């Protein structure tokens, strides 16, 4: 096995591991790598839909997305599609997946199916480091506070993405409160758990106080020193620990560069626990 670090902050590209080997020993090696590096990448993984699902199940039960339909024969797989003419990309701002749920996603297994020749990288930022490096005064202001996360409704997930199909839903918007500083259930490390896309308010503060404080925290957690960036190739797989990172699918599709190409990713998410 070879482990190549992607940046000084997080992320590692791994070679010499078989993702179809679901033995307890192999899964333990992969989980240990994931807890350590927060996001891990594997290239040239021509695995089937079922193999991707079976691998994901080794981490826990599969989570179905609240708003977007899965593939007809494999509903566990949410296909992220950017059509050639689209400039935008699903997940194109800093976020932690479904942080608006009461039990947000534990981890995601994302496989690239079709990749533009240039553009469409994904960035990740390390929220354990974000907490460790946060100003002490800010730490004291948020350590015992909770924040409200909101899903922003169905249209946010489907209206701007021609290739993404909506589910029928009874509730349009989900909201939940979570501790701003959560504890990783495996490593017991503290994690800064807010994100620009879904975190709307700090509970117990006025709107003005909350907006000002959140802006400072967002600015800190998005600092480039805390990030890594992955350039996709076809059949690459990323696994991220959705509790300890935020991520950003970069929609840099401009004329005569990345625009004019389709980008397709298959995403399987694993259910998480209630943040504490």
Sign of CA dihedral 271, 19, 128, 206: negative
Closest approach of ligand SIN to the CB of residue 269, in Å: 8
Which residue, 261 or 267, is less far from ligand SIN as judged by CB? Answer: 267
Closest approach of ligand SIN to the CB of residue 143, in Å: 28
SS3 (DSSP) at 271? coil
Closest approach of ligand SIN to the CB of residue 263, in Å: 7
Closest approach of ligand SIN to the CB of residue 196, in Å: 13
Closest approach of ligand SIN to the CB of residue 135, in Å: 28
Closest approach of ligand SIN to the CB of residue 198, in Å: 12
User: Which residue's C-beta sits nearest to ligand SIN?
Assistant: 91
Which residue, 118 or 205, is less far from ligand SIN as judged by CB? Answer: 118
Give the residues across from 68 on adjacent strands: 166
Closest approach of ligand SIN to the CB of residue 229, in Å: 11
Which residue, 157 or 202, is less far from ligand SIN as judged by CB? Answer: 157
Q: How many CA atoms lie within 13 A of 181 on its CB side?
A: 18
Concatenating the DSSP letter of every residue in 176-205 gives EEEESEEE-TTT--EEE---TTTEEEETTS
CB 154 within 8 A of CB 69: no
Q: How many CA atoms lie within 13 A of 7 on its CB side?
A: 18
Which residue, 141 or 197, is less far from ligand SIN as judged by CB? Answer: 197
- The alpha-helical segments, DSSP class H, found in 95-229 are 127-132, 136-142, 154-158, 207-221
Name the DSSP letter for residue 172: S
Distance CA 214, CA 181 (A): 13
Residue with tokens 């490593």: 187
Give how far Cα 30 sits from Cα of 7, 37, 45, 223, 236, Å. 19, 10, 15, 27, 16
Which residue, 146 or 247, is less far from ligand SIN as judged by CB? Answer: 247
Which residue, 34 or 202, is less far from ligand SIN as judged by CB? Answer: 34
Residues of the shown chain interacting with ligand SIN in the complex, contacts defined by CB under 6 A: 80, 90-91, 97, 122, 247, 249, 265, 267
Phi, psi for residue 133 in degrees, rounded to 5: -95, 5
Which residue, 14 or 246, is less far from ligand SIN as judged by CB? Answer: 246
């Amino acid at each position: 096995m070879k482990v190549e670090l992607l940046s000084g902050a997080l992320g590692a590209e791994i070679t010499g591991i078989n993702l179809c080997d679901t033995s307890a020993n192999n899964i333990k090696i992969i989980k240990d790598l994931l807890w350590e590096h927060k996001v891990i990448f594997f290239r040239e993984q021509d695995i089937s839909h079922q193999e991707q699902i079976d691998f994901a199940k080794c981490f826990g039960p599969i989570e179905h997305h609240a708003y977007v339909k899965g593939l007809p024969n494999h509903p566990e797989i949410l296909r992220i599609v950017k059509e050639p003419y689209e400039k935008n990309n699903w997940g194109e701002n800093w976020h932690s997946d479904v942080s608006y749920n009461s039990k947000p996603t534990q981890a995601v297994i994302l496989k690239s199916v079709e990749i533009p020749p240039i553009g469409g990288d994904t960035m990740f930022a390390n929220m354990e480091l974000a907490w460790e490096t946060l100003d002490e005064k800010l730490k004291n202001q948020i350590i015992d506070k909770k924040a409200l996360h909101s899903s922003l409704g169905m249209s946010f997930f489907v209206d701007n993405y021609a290739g993404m199909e909506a589910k029928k839903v009874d509730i349009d918007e989900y909201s939940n409160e979570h501790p701003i500083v959560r504890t990783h259930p495996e490593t017991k490390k503290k994690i800064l758990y807010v994100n620009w896309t879904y975190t709307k308010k700090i509970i117990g503060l006025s709107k003005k106080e909350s907006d000002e404080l959140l802006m400072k925290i967002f600015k800190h957690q998005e600092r480039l020193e805390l990030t890594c960036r992955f350039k996709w190739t076809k059949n690459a797989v990323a696994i991220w620990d959705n509790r300890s990172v935020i991520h950003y699918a970069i929609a840099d599709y401009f004329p005569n560069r990345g625009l004019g190409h389709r980008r397709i990713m298959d995403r399987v998410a694993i259910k998480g626990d209630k943040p504490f």
